[in-house]
């Protein structure tokens, strides 16, 4: 079986429209094929991930093989015939420039990046300070990478000290958050991934050791959207303070894990965190770890928080002391932390996402 082409197809004789479409393809990181009518070879029409038909060329495409991913593009918003032309060629939609330029750039980039399978995105947040959320996030990412998933770990906590340090990758070359702080609009998923440090089989977006840098909500939105645009797994370590940037991160999660130590004060603190997170994230689950205060167990704590129980973490000192020069958290596959993470992915990864 051949490799699916990743070049979109443009069909138009309108030179002004063609210039616009070439410019938008360049903005999306795509190099298109251009034809004035339906290509002579059938596969040149059926194989491209996206076909952009200019409204001037619609009549010449009426008899083309029907296929998904065809869009009719024009520049006249009040033309009543444009929708009739779209139906005649089996187009999935009509885009009128210049108003739809941003939408079209997204569609082109999604098509060439194969965005029909988004990454499963999981966030981890501590119920109280020092709960071990960053350690759990790292261990989850390592377990996903060991399972053969394309894995990206995102450090969403600017005050956490850097997840690259936890993984022993602080000296690894690659871009950090300060390089993306000014990001606006679309960030290409492939380019983002290739620019990040590669540590222990996964890519990581962390902080550097320079002056504190504020990541605006727009940058968080753009970077996380790019990170999750490709298949696999994205793990996000979240701060306990839900500011505007953290809210953007929460909005892109498929599910969140609230790590709660087995003590009453931690449960009280976690309740406040859960209430704040729950205003944005619909699927929040409790992960409970011992040792437990008298009368408490994992079921009691999950019930008190009114959250589904994602599992119990066996007590291990590394949950709160990782990052002091030893092995990365969860690197020992025989330990309870690694076993928890492996079991978690086995439960939440569907057969379509696995492997």
pLDDT of residue 159: 77
Bond prior to 291 in cis (omega within 30° of 0):
yes
> Is residue 4 over pLDDT 70?
no
Closest-CA residue to 177 (of 139, 213, 127): 213
- Percentage above 70 pLDDT, the chain: 92
> Is residue 355 over pLDDT 90?
no
pLDDT confidence of 259, banded at 50, 70, 90? Answer: very high
> Is residue 261 over pLDDT 90?
yes
> Is residue 115 over pLDDT 60?
no
> Is residue 269 over pLDDT 50?
yes
- Percentage above 90 pLDDT, the chain: 68
What's this model's pTM, rounded to 2 decimal places?
0.75
Q: How far is residue 33 from each of residues 5, 7, 21, 40, 50, measured CA to CA in Å?
A: 10, 6, 11, 13, 11
Q: 22 is written with which tokens?
A: 């070439």
> Is residue 1 over pLDDT 60?
no
> Is residue 287 over pLDDT 70?
yes
Helices (H), 200-350: 217-227, 244-251, 264-278, 298-305, 318-321, 336-348
* Residue indicated by tokens 């596969």: 43
Indicate the pairing of strand 198-199 with strand 202-205. antiparallel
Contacts (Cβ under 8 Å, ≥6 apart) of 243: none
Quick one: average pLDDT of 84-89?
94
Name the range with the highest mean pLDDT among 140-149, 177-186, 313-322.
140-149
Contact 202, 169 (CB under 8 A): no
- Number of neighbouring beta carbons within 10 Å of residue 290: 16
Which residues of the chain form beta strands (DSSP E)?
Answer: 9-11, 33-35, 51-54, 70-74, 93-96, 120-126, 151-155, 198-199, 202-205, 233-237, 255-261, 284-289, 309-313
* 3 state DSSP class of 87: helix
Name the range with the highest mean pLDDT among 199-213, 246-260, 304-318.
246-260
pLDDT of residue 162: 85
Give counts: helices (H), strands (E), the chain.
13, 13
The whole-chain average pLDDT of the chain stands at: 89
Separation of alpha carbons 156 and 67, rounded Å: 41
> Is residue 303 over pLDDT 90?
yes
């Amino acid at each position: 079986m051949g490799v699916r082409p990743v070049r979109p197809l443009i069909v138009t004789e309108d030179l002004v429209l063609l210039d616009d479409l070439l410019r938008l393809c360049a903005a999306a990181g795509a190099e298109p094929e251009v034809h004035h009518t339906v290509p002579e070879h059938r596969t040149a029409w059926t194989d491209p991930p996206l076909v952009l038909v200019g409204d001037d060329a619609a009549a010449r495409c009426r008899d083309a093989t029907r296929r998904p991913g065809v869009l009719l593009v024009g520049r006249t918003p009040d033309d009543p015939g444009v929708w009739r032309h779209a139906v005649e060629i089996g187009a999935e939609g009509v885009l009128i420039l210049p108003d739809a330029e941003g939408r079209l750039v997204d569609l082109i980039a999604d098509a060439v990046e194969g965005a029909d399978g988004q990454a499963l995105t999981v966030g981890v947040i501590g119920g109280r300070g020092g709960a071990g959320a960053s350690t759990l996030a790292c261990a989850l990412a390592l377990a996903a990478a060991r399972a053969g998933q394309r894995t990206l770990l995102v450090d969403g906590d600017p005050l956490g000290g850097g997840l690259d340090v936890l993984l022993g990758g602080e000296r690894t070359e690659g871009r950090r958050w300060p390089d993306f702080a000014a990001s606006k609009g679309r960030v290409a998923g492939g380019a983002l991934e290739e620019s990040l440090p590669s540590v222990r089989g996964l890519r990581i977006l962390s902080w550097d050791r320079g002056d504190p840098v504020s990541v605006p909500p727009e940058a968080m939105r753009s970077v996380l959207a790019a990170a999750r645009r490709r298949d696999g797994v994205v793990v996000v370590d979240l701060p306990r303070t839900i500011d505007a940037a953290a809210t953007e991160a929460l909005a892109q999660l498929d599910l969140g894990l609230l790590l709660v130590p087995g003590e009453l004060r931690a449960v009280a603190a976690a309740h406040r965190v859960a209430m704040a997170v729950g205003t944005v994230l619909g699927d929040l689950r409790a992960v409970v770890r011992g040792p437990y205060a008298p009368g408490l167990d994992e079921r009691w704590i999950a019930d008190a928080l009114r959250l589904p129980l994602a599992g119990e973490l066996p007590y291990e000192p590394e949950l709160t002391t990782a990052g002091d020069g030893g092995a990365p958290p969860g690197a020992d596959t025989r330990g309870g932390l690694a076993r928890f993470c492996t079991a978690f992915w086995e439960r939440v990864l569907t057969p379509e996402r696995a492997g």
